[in-house]
Amino acid sequence: MKASPAALSKLDFDRVRQALAERTALRLGTERALALLPNLGRVELETAWQRLAEALQGPLSLGGVEDIRELVQLVMDGRILEGPELFSIAYTMDAAGTIKRAILASERPALSALARLMSSFDGVLRLVREQLDHDGSVRDDATPKLRDIRRRLAPLRGRIRERLGELLARYAEAVQDPIITLRRDRYVIPIKTSHQGRVPGIVIDTSDSGATVFIEPQSIVPLNNELALLEFEERDEVRRILIAIGQRLAFEPGLAPTLEVLAELDLIAASARLARDWRLVQPSLNDQGEVRLAAARHPLIKDCVPNTLRLAAERRLLIITGPNAGGKTVALKTLGLAVLMAHSGLFVAAASEPPPTVPFFDSLLTDIGDEQSIEASLSTYAGHLKNLRAIVEQADESVLVLIDELGSGTDPTEGAALSQAVLEQLLASGARGLVTTHLAPIKVFAAQTPRVENAAMQFDVAELRPRFELVVGQPGRSYALAIAERLGLPDALLARAREILGPEGVGLEALLEALEREQEKLLAERSELQAAHRQTLEEAELLRAQIAMLRQREQEVLAAAAEKADELLQETLLRAKALKRTATSDQQQRGKALAELQALRRTVRGAPDQPQQAPEELLPGTEVLVPEYGAKGLVVERRGQEVVVRLGLIKVTVPRRSVTVLGASKAVASASAVVLPTRFDNELNVRGERAEAAIEQIRDFIREAHALKVESVRILHGKGTGALRDAVRQYLKGERLVTRFEDAVPFEGGHGVTVAYLRL
């Protein structure tokens, strides 16, 4: 979006940039913050907002990064950097790699895409670690040549010091202090000036007092010369190594792009801090040309009263009127600054609900403040006209127009006429804008013209202070006569003023006053409705909480019932297991045990008893159905109101009323009743059981099936490793009640099921 430097300054965008710069951590980011412009494209804006939103999710640390551009430029200019300076470059490159890895691991897509533009410098950093010590000095093993030089230097220095020690002892009476020292990079010994002739050698230096001369003994000269040559070679090799490292660091291909990314990350981190400090929210772009900023406020004004600002197709121009110092210019700057910040990739000072939205504007055109120029010989009004001409010439659908005090600085009648013509031209161009004015004809124009709407800044006449509240839909009053009356001006003077104003002016003020009263009444009613709505919401929330509590209680009751049912089930299973053992092991109690077992099974399954009245005469041999056992049998004996019925190999005694006649009487001796296990499940599932537990279940299962004359049973053991199947079949081989067993057919289980046939 294009905006002139003057517009940026008058809308306080410079102060926003300064606040952003104060929150940066690097000089790289500071420079970028101070140079920030609202010139991002559509895609760039969306990306910038997404990056900023991700930065607000967690800290974005740039620790360890320095501004190394100056050092890099020195290397490029041919200067040799010392080890610590090279380390500064290396540390920043290493920190960049750490930052890149941290961002990529944080699962923040937009920031990760930016971080991928940074390079990895593992190779050059490894070279620095191999050739420089932690203090920045060049390592002895940096190169083979340097290693060889320093290997020769240490013994040579030792020989020199050893030889000088001997000379100190030999010339002890001539020595000033028994120490070995360096003068002009050569090893020497201090000799008294009066005795210097006794020690053959070269005077290298003297003390400040002149009492001591520093002599390089003749025998040491060749050794010092050799040492000097080695030190020259060492210095040259060290310089060559430092140059090579510096060149490698400075000319690393990905260094410049990485510094650019670090600067951008610093700006993003500063933008996140600004968003937290100023309570900014993320805006969005829309293609309908709508500006919607709910509870918008000027972020640089302390305790700024928020106001909702909205421009759309049905409201392209908003005309704000009201008293001086009432907040008209603040509202205008609030809109302009929000649009500038949004188009710069920043968040805006508005409420999050409804979400703030702005169109993508190509230009921002403003006429704010006094444009008088003595140098250009322009009056205040002429300056405004110059701005208005530029606005009218450039205005179109992609332009936001902000005009402060339209028509001021000249004759009100002519100013109003020209102002209305300007507004008509802006309306025809499709531009959107916000205009402040005091001119009454403009209020009338706004009230009568489609897509133009009045708005007023409220003023408390009783307290003689502005409220700074924007009310859309009605024009504002100047309050000049009302304020004068409140301040106690004479009634005669006020009456004369109204007479001069004329009936139209007085009528307009009266109409506006009536509108304000009606507006205040409507606002009061709306406040009451909102309070009632809030109370309704609170009561609904209370009901939801009570419902949730009842549901929680229901869950607890159901859980307790389930626990009780589980206990009953366990007791029933234990009872059934005991009855099965009794039926298979105790011949005398078998009948009773089976009867209890069938009753227990029927109770668990919920099978209703449906007894049918038996005939008066149940002769022996009569075939009957005993529902209690779910089996057919023959009557053996009558015992009053009970009959004895043979069910297979057992006899049971049941009430006469509980049996159903199926066929005619048969001879008891030749009877061979067949028991139909209508309620017996001939399949047992032992999958997942241990072998011992499975065999115990199978033993009881087969005993019950045999007692009920079941021809065959199915045992589901699964395929698995085959261990359970082998254990089952090993047991069946030794079970006397089983005649044979085999795999089930493939479509009924195959190797995972064993079918056992029982003796009848």
Give the pLDDT confidence of 631-649 residue by residue, as tens digits: 788 888 887 778 888 876 5
pLDDT of 670 over the 50 cut: no
| Cα-Cα-Cα-Cα dihedral sign, residues 278, 284, 290, 292 | negative
Is residue 100 within 8 Å of 264, Cβ to Cβ?
no
Torsion angles phi and psi, residue 126, rounded to 5: -65, -40
pLDDT of 383 over the 70 cut: yes
Q: Looking at the domain that runs over 284-487, which CATH code has it been given? A: 3.40.50.300
Q: Would you list the DSSP string of 598-663?
A: HHHHHHHHTPPP---PPPS---TT-EEEETTTTEEEEEEEEETTEEEEEETTEEEEEEGGG-EE-S
So what's the pLDDT on residue 671? 35
For 604, other C-beta atoms within 10 Å of its C-beta total: 13
pLDDT of 616 over the 70 cut: no
Residue 676's pLDDT band (cuts 50, 70, 90)? very low
Q: Averaging pLDDT over each range in 17-26, 169-178, 593-602, 616-625, which range is the top one?
A: 17-26
* pLDDT single digits (tens) 283-334: 999 988 899 999 999 999 998 999 999 999 889 999 998 887 788 999 999 9
So what's the pLDDT on residue 485? 65
pLDDT of 183 over the 70 cut: yes
Residue 668's pLDDT band (cuts 50, 70, 90)? very low
* pLDDT single digits (tens) 501-514: 555 454 455 555 55
Q: Would you list the DSSP string of 498-561?
A: HHHHHHHHHHHHHHHHHHHHHHHHHHHHHHHHHHHHHHHHHHHHHHHHHHHHHHHHHHHHHHHH
So what's the pLDDT on residue 674? 38
> What would be the CATH architecture of the domain defined by 680-760?
2-Layer Sandwich (3.30)
d(CA 691, CA 687): 10
Strand 284-285: give its sheet, edge to edge. Answer: 284-285, 357-358, 291-296, 307-311
d(CA 619, CA 602): 28
- Pair type for strands 660-661 and 683-685: unpaired
Share of the chain above pLDDT 90, in %: 46
So what's the pLDDT on residue 621? 79
So what's the pLDDT on residue 612? 42
CA separation, residue 363 to residues 336, 402, 406, 432 (Å): 11, 11, 20, 11
Q: Which of 598-607, 679-688, 713-722 shows the lowest per-residue confidence on average (mean pLDDT)? A: 598-607
Q: Which of 97-111, 368-382, 562-576, 679-693 shows the lowest per-residue confidence on average (mean pLDDT)? A: 368-382
pTM score above 0.85: no
Which two tokens mark 187? Answer: 């090893």
pLDDT of 613 over the 80 cut: no
* pLDDT single digits (tens) 141-160: 999 999 999 999 989 999 99
Q: Which residue, chain included where needed, has tokens 């230096």?
A: 205
d(CA 166, CA 144): 34
d(CA 28, CA 316): 41
d(CA 317, CA 335): 13
Beta-sheet strands, E only, within 152-223:
181-183, 186-192, 201-206, 212-217
Q: Which of 348-357, 483-492, 549-558 shows the lowest per-residue confidence on average (mean pLDDT)? A: 483-492
483 versus 166: which is more confidently predicted? 166
So what's the pLDDT on residue 377? 43
> What would be the CATH architecture of the domain defined by 10-121+252-278?
Orthogonal Bundle (1.10)
Residue 654's pLDDT band (cuts 50, 70, 90)? confident
Is residue 457 within 8 Å of 466, Cβ to Cβ?
yes
H or E stretch covering 158: helix 144-170
pLDDT of 684 over the 80 cut: yes
Strand partners, 757: 712, 740
Average pLDDT of span 410-425: 88
So what's the pLDDT on residue 526? 79
583: Cβ contacts below 8 Å, ≥ 6 apart: 589, 590, 593, 594, 597, 703, 704, 707
* pLDDT single digits (tens) 387-401: 899 999 999 999 999
| Cα-Cα-Cα-Cα dihedral sign, residues 187, 193, 197, 198 | negative
* pLDDT single digits (tens) 422-457: 999 999 999 999 999 988 888 888 888 999 999 988
Is residue 45 within 8 Å of 252, Cβ to Cβ?
no
CA separation, residue 70 to residues 29, 82, 248, 315, 371 (Å): 15, 14, 16, 53, 42
User: In the CATH hierarchy, which top-level class contains the domain 144-246?
Assistant: mainly alpha
Class of residue 74 by CB neighbours under 10 A (exposed 0-12, middle 13-18, buried 19+):
middle
Residue 102's pLDDT band (cuts 50, 70, 90)? very high
CA atoms within 13 A on the CB side of 427: 19
So what's the pLDDT on residue 587? 64
Q: Which residue, chain included where needed, has tokens 């009302």?
A: 482
d(CA 153, CA 230): 7
21-41 burial, b if ≥16 CB within 10 A, otherwise e? bebbbbebbbebbeebebebe
Quote the mean pLDDT of the chain: 84
Class of residue 141 by CB neighbours under 10 A (exposed 0-12, middle 13-18, buried 19+):
exposed
Pick the CATH number of 605-676 from 3.30.300.30, 3.30.559.10, 3.90.480.10, 2.30.30.30: 2.30.30.30
Torsion angles phi and psi, residue 259, rounded to 5: -65, -35
d(CA 227, CA 746): 97
CA separation, residue 331 to residues 291, 301, 307, 404 (Å): 14, 11, 8, 10
